[in-house]
Amino acid sequence: MDRSKLILLIHTVKYLRLKQIYYQLYYLIRNRFFKRNYTKQLKKEILPLNWNDSFLYPNSFTKENKFIFLNLPYQFTDKIDWNYANFGKLWTYNLNYFDFLNQKDCSVNEGLALINDYIKNEINLKDGKEPYPISLRGINWIKFLSKNKTSNVDIDQTLYNHYETLIHNLEYHLLGNHLLENGYSLLFGAYYFKDEILYKKSKQILKQELTEQILDDGAHFELSPMYHQILLHRLLDCINLVQNNFWKEDNLLLFLKKKAIQMTSWLEEVTYQNGSIPMVNDSTYDISPTSGQLFEYAKRLNLHWNKGNLMDSGYRMFRNNNYELFVDVGNIGPDYQPGHAHSDTFSFELYVKNKPILVDPGISTYEKNDRRLKERGTKYHNTVKIGNQDQTQVWDGFRVAKRARIVNQQEKENILEATHDGYKNFGITHTRRFLSNDYKILINDIISKEINKEQIAFFHFHPDIKELEISNTQVYLPKENIDIKFDKELLKIEEENYEYALGFNKRETAKKIKVYFKTTLSTTISI
């Protein structure tokens, strides 16, 4: 390993918790030298739970063994290969989640046939035996069996074995949303099998992890609106489960409701009036339930929430009758699990009259490749890059080394100013100030001192913005009648294309501008 890679690794590992390191080593040694299959005879009849779907998943399975995940279709011509890996691990994971059991047009017979085929091939399973897909698949099987009032001894025994595997392989080496998903699934397993051991572990995980992972303003601490929607959906499912199946009488339901109310309040704050969410950090389209679906689900569960704020998550939303301005002035988080974070400090999105104008490009892949690095990098966001360095060192798909930190922040009504130290190895800081009024947004960028490094502010336009009129100090959007003016001290403006993510493996060409400046830049957006 060369010196630079070693330093990068040190700056990554130093943020890990001892618990993560311990379980990384423990699982590595145990699974290499003491690997075992977890089987435990199920000695009682299992009855379906009371379950009604809140909403159904989008279609990902059609007849004749055709599946589509991540916008990549594939048809198995002979038999289903549950380890199919030609489209990457995330596609294989989705195949093993079994979300398709709970889509609109999957019949009972089709669903049972898919489950039985899976069981028949269980001895050969690879990715599907990992704790994360076990967690999601367990919930989907239980929902499907329960809503269809179906009991099957072989399926129940296999499902029970999967939960035995899960409880002995909980994702303490990762923590974050993975461990929380383990906890959600264990609760479903506990209720389905009336299993005290599963329940005790589930309750412990949910209380500990929801207390830590849900910030005081209601945000999930990985700061991805998409993952927030996913995890809120699962939390609402857990409330649905406990409310409609009387087994335990303790304080868990009240705790789950409290956290769901916090999360719903935060989601309402960040959701645009047209129903979209900001595509910040690892967020993209057609993966999670929509905010509208989640709000309706929460109402059906009789949850009531009030208007919240975005203080703890580091996000801000400025709203008036003309536009919505979403701003990121927070730190990378959490320190020990930043795998879904981007190098995007001070980036922003702008919607005018419910239409996206300036956007975060989002993500289109989880593969460890150049596109993944590009989509996480500074120059793929509406912020400032200095020299060839990212504000935050994102690398290897889901790793983060040195991180930009907010070192100063001031705000009052319609004004927000913050400073980060992501370029401290250059001996400088970057300050960005937003001033918002009804028809104008003023953005001031200040580099703390003159340096001989290239300084570029990036502005990414939504693909619907087809025409830009660029002069020396101005960019005009004629169709939208939006004017972006820069101060006279800038060096130049360049236009180029970029790939906007419409979902995984689905992109559309759009326009961006690069504004070269020296030390200070004043930007005025007139609407």
Instruction: Name the band, by pLDDT with cuts 50, 70 and 90, for residue 164.
Output: very high
> pLDDT above 70 covers what percent of the chain?
100
Across-strand partners of 495?
513
Token pair recorded at residue 99: 């979300």
Indicate if the pLDDT at residue 152 is higher than 80. Answer: yes
The Cα 287–Cα 504 span in angstroms is: 9
- Indicate the burial class of 442 (C-beta count within 10 angstroms; 0-12, 13-18, 19 or more): middle
Across-strand partners of 328?
315
Q: What is the pLDDT of residue 491?
A: 87
Q: What is the pLDDT of residue 521?
A: 97
Q: In a 3-state reduction of DSSP, which class is residue 499?
A: strand
Q: What is the pLDDT of residue 308?
A: 82
Residue with the two structure tokens 């400032």: 384
Q: Is the distance from CB of 442 to CB of 435 less than 8 angstroms? A: yes
Q: What is the pLDDT of residue 490?
A: 83
Between 63 and 465, whose confidence is greater?
Answer: 465
- What sign does the CA torsion over 348, 351, 357, 362 have? positive
pLDDT digits (tens, 9 = 90+) for 21-32: 999 999 999 999
Indicate if the pLDDT at residue 297 is higher than 90. Answer: yes
Domains along the chain with CATH numbers: 1-34 (no CATH), 179-313 (1.50.10.100), 315-526 (2.70.98.70)
Calculate mean pLDDT across residues 300-307: 94
To the nearest whole number, what is the mean pLDDT of the chain?
96
Q: What is the pLDDT of residue 217?
A: 97
Q: What is the pLDDT of residue 55?
A: 85
CA distance between the termini of the chain: 52
150-171 core/surface letters (b: 16 or more CB in 10 A; e: else): eeeeebbbbbbbbbbbbbebbb
Q: What is the pLDDT of residue 124?
A: 94
CA distances to 171, 219, 337 from 20, in Å:
9, 23, 10
Question: Which letter does DSSP use for residue 99 in this model?
Answer: G
Q: What is the pLDDT of residue 19?
A: 96
Cβ neighbors of 413 (< 8 A, separation 6 or more) are: none
The Cα 239–Cα 504 span in angstroms is: 30
3-state secondary structure 330-370: CCCCCCCCCCCCCCCCCCEEEEECCEEEECCCCCCCCCCCH
Instruction: Name the band, by pLDDT with cuts 50, 70 and 90, for residue 39.
Output: confident
Overall pTM surpassing 0.75 (yes/no): yes
Indicate if the pLDDT at residue 98 is higher than 80. Answer: yes
Left, alpha or beta for 275 (phi > 0: left; psi -120 to 50: alpha)? left
Calculate mean pLDDT across residues 155-163: 97
Q: What is the pLDDT of residue 208?
A: 98
Q: What is the pLDDT of residue 7?
A: 85
The Cα 373–Cα 365 span in angstroms is: 10
Q: What is the pLDDT of residue 307?
A: 83
Q: What is the pLDDT of residue 130?
A: 97
